[in-house]
Structure 1
Amino acid sequence: MGASGLGVPCSVVLPSPVIPRAYCRPARTPWLSEAFNGPVRAGRWFTGATIVLLALNLRSAVGSVGVLLSAVTDDLGMSATTAGVLTTLPMVCFAVVGLSTGAIVRRLGLHRTTALALALVLVGLGTRAVADSTVAFLATSVLALGGAAMGNVVLPPLARTHFPDRVAGISALYGAALIASGTLSSSLSVPAAEAFGSWRVGVGLWSALALLALLPWLTLLSRDVRTSLAPTDRLPTGQVLRSPLTWALVVCFAAQSGGAYAQFGWFASIVVDAGTGPATAGALLGLLTGVGIPLTLCLPWLIARLGGTGVLPVAFGALTVAGWTGLVLAPSTAPALWAVLLGLGSGAFTWCLTMIGQRTRTTAGTTALSSLVQGPGYLVGGLVPFGTGALHDVTGSWTPPLVGLAALGVLIAVAGTLVDRSTPLEDRLVPTSRG
């Protein structure tokens, strides 16, 4: 495949088996101001903006419903059990659809799959806003979340394809956009619903953002990117699954995603039970989420200087352990400090996505690894918030579940160090499987 017209080659097979060191372990690369240089081109900026817009849509289906759940359940007559199913749908969809996205990309191409993901988000959010029954609301939620799941998987290969020399920079930008997506949708949906007197507005307004993101992707469909040029170029799933890198990333991703969803679901309840007021607890949760944005934007600088040493995953793990331990020992003494520590530890999420791109040499490798890591990672991680609540109910205390959550920080440090020091995925596969 020839030049894409976007400032980077669309070929998924690199022209030489000798890959620059920067693909395996980042050199000292300038910060985000140069994320699109090399050289700066209008097409390159345009593609980068479309990737960031994509990420900005991938948490709105979750954030907008979580804060309006009581209004939705009352209006639709939804039972508590059904509402519980609704809260678990994101992780289930991220896992199941995430596992199948690699095959969809191979069939449709990277750009068409991205456009399909945004179309599903658009249709799902739009129709969910007019759903008149519980079944319809759940079905349209699955559509929107399925599109978000596909978007999760295609982000790393998009970065690998269009910004092979700036994977960390573009990953930081879309990672910050992912965080902003959840923050904006959870903070603006309630005011919008109150302003118009209906939860449907708060849920449905995000479909306009999905439409805005979809339009530029439609212009890229004629210059699509395939993840394999021929059957012999494909990466056999069995070989990818046998790679130690794959499983180290699965463990690290599952640990950080499980801890993150436990934070979203239980942090406020933990500090409220310790004596903090509900309004303050909500502000602390916002602080926890917000501190992740500047850290994410600093990741290219950090990876350029510390990549390959294991320092970053150990730091993320240590911050996570410290945050949960603080909530065990002194939950009411310095809750803001524990929120900041947990928020900084959550930088492991964007770091994992960046490693998916930096520990592969090709678009095919990045797509395969992204799908096989995020699918099982979200599936296993989804058990953590459920287990946290169940353990609290059984023991009548937050201490046992918090100790378990702190242990996830140890897994992030150990598995993340293996990832950070690993060679690229394709180096461990037989030559004929490289794609």
Structure 2
Amino acid sequence: MMALMPREETQTTTQATPRSPDPRRAGEPPTTRAWTLRFVVVGLVLAALNLRPAITSLGALLEEVRVGLGMSGTVAGVLTSVPPLCFAAFGVMAPKLARRFGPAAVVCAGMAAIAAGLAIRPFAGGTPGFLAASALALMGIAVSNILMPVIVKRWFPDRVATMTGLYSMALSLGTSLAAAATVPLTSALGGKWQTGLGLWALVAAAAVLPWLPLVRERRTAGGGATESAVTEGAVTEGAVTESADKSARAQDARAQDARAQAKGGLALPITRSRTAWALAGFFGLQATGAYITMGWMPQIFRDAGVPASTAGVLLAVTMAMGVPLAFVIPRVAGRLRNQGPIAVVLGSCGLIGYAGLFLAPAAGAWVWAVVLGVSNCSFPLALTMVGMRAGTGAGVAKLSAFAQSTGYLLSIPGPLLVGVLYQHSGGWGLPIALMAGLMLPQIALGILAGRNRTVEAELADRAGAGSKAAA
């Protein structure tokens, strides 16, 4: 299958993309060779495998790290808040870096940063060094996370959903594998948590290799993407469904985007859109739940008497639910005019899971792991709604930048607050109540964000109403 994919993609790209004297100006992908596309596919899969192990491997060994470094519950809460903070802070750098150096070069550097951070942090010699090395790895994750959809759009413009599904599956696989394997590997290699965490640097180092020839190919093929292409590509993740006439749709989207750019984009700033704010809030709350789960769920099970190795496997089960649902949810959402009901179903699963953790964390551990895994699939739903709540590529780019950056900022306090409540209450009752309470506004905002409207139309209506009022 992997051998066939590049040949199919080359044919599709040639048919859908007319030749242009200046591919960079037209926003078209460069002329490709079969070996280049093979490197892209391998690079995407290996990069996706490394986008979450830095987080879930730490969650599996959080108790050992806390004891080894002398961390309090509050400091551990700070540690679990670092991922969304880094994603918000460093993710905004990705488009400018890609414009200057090319997306492949930035992803290659991102994989190197992940490898270096994961190799350094277990042996940094204290909490400040551990946090700094974690931030280095998370910086690499942040820019790579943004630019992987750009790579998909650039090299596979008519197979966006298929390739997005491929690397989304790899991302979920890496997430669950790190959660399940870290504790057993640590035990097998002598029981030191430093070894268990440092092992994942080897996987990240392997992910650097397929990107090296792509950096060279970028130089010979004619440079990197423009900033508009980068920002547009970065938000198509999971938001496109396959159709019979992919080439015509791609050409129509480019023409529609050109008209929107000529008209100056949105009628008003994106911050004037209620839909944009609802989507940003939904994105932030689902991210809050995801990072609380990755950082704290193994500890909840361990405190309930579940063995450490089993707690890691339970987190892996939760993360693995994203493998099939990353394919299913965007396609179901794309066929509905209103995605609010999906947000209700996913939020209800979260409420059931948190109720189970409160009432019978050990007895029903496997059930709660599964239903919380379903709830965490609000992430592909949020990305799908980003693509559906804007009518043009320019609008999607602005909506995505606003929703994701604002959402990640909103998600920062959640894991920290869980750590504070855990330390000062001496148990998990209050933290779990907080988690469940956050599901209610998430459901409400999902209903608002899922309504069948676009930010362009919404802002045009507001602009028209304002003009009439002024007249």
1:210 aligned to 2:204? Answer: yes
1:337 aligned to 2:367? Answer: yes
1:60 aligned to 2:53? Answer: yes
1:350 alignment partner, one of 380, 389, 397: 380
1:382 aligned to 2:375? Answer: no
Distance 1:127 1:269, change over 3 A: closer
Equivalence for 2:314: 284
- Encode CA deviations 1:198-247: one digit per residue, 9 max, x unaligned: 544433333333233233333334152222389x88979x8344344432
User: Alignment partner of 1:58: what SS?
Assistant: coil
Equivalence for 1:115: 108
Shift of 1:347: 1.0
Distance 1:52 1:252, change over 3 A: farther
Distance in 2 between residues matched to 1:229 and 1:285, nearest whole Å: 36
Distance in 2 between residues matched to 1:91 and 1:421, nearest whole Å: 27
Contact 1:261/1:385 (CA < 8 Å) preserved in 2? yes
Equivalence for 2:279: 249
Distance in 2 between residues matched to 1:220 and 1:366, nearest whole Å: 27
Contact 1:360/1:366 (CA < 8 Å) preserved in 2? yes
Shift of 1:295: 2.0
Contact 1:256/1:408 (CA < 8 Å) preserved in 2? no
Unaligned runs of 5+ in 1: 16-40, 431-435
Equivalence for 2:226: 226
2:333 alignment partner, one of 293, 303, 315: 303
1:146 aligned to 2:139? Answer: yes
- Encode CA deviations 1:317-336: one digit per residue, 9 max, x unaligned: 22222322344455566343
| 1:409-428 aligned within 5 A | 409-423=439-453
2:166 alignment partner, one of 173, 197, 205: 173
Contact 2:338/2:451 (CA < 8 Å) preserved in 1? yes
2:344 alignment partner, one of 309, 314, 317: 314
| 1:263-282 aligned within 5 A | 263-270=293-300, 281-282=311-312
Distance 1:124 1:428, change over 3 A: farther
Contact 1:252/1:412 (CA < 8 Å) preserved in 2? yes
Letter in 1 for 2:227: T
Equivalence for 1:37: none
> Is the radius of gyration larger for structure 1 or structure 2?
2
Distance 1:427 1:205, change over 3 A: farther
| 1:20-99 aligned within 5 A | 46-69=39-62, 78-80=70-72, 85-99=78-92
Letter in 2 for 1:169: T
State the number of aligned residues. Answer: 400
Contact 1:120/1:143 (CA < 8 Å) preserved in 2? yes
> For structure 1, which segment, 126-135 or 211-220, has the greater mean C-alpha deviation from structure 2 after superposition?
126-135
Contact 1:153/1:371 (CA < 8 Å) preserved in 2? no
Distance in 2 between residues matched to 1:235 and 1:104, nearest whole Å: 23
Distance in 1 between residues matched to 2:308 and 2:195, nearest whole Å: 25
- Encode CA deviations 1:167-188: one digit per residue, 9 max, x unaligned: 4433333333222222222333
CA-based RMSD: 4.1
Normalised TM-score (structure 2): 0.69
- Encode CA deviations 1:139-198: one digit per residue, 9 max, x unaligned: 222211111111222234444444454444333333332222222223333444444445
Q: Percent identity at matched positions?
A: 36
Normalised TM-score (structure 1): 0.74
- Encode CA deviations 1:73-124: one digit per residue, 9 max, x unaligned: 666x555476554343223212221244344344444333323322321332
Unaligned runs of 5+ in 2: 1-8, 18-22, 29-33, 231-260, 461-471
Distance 1:403 1:199, change over 3 A: closer
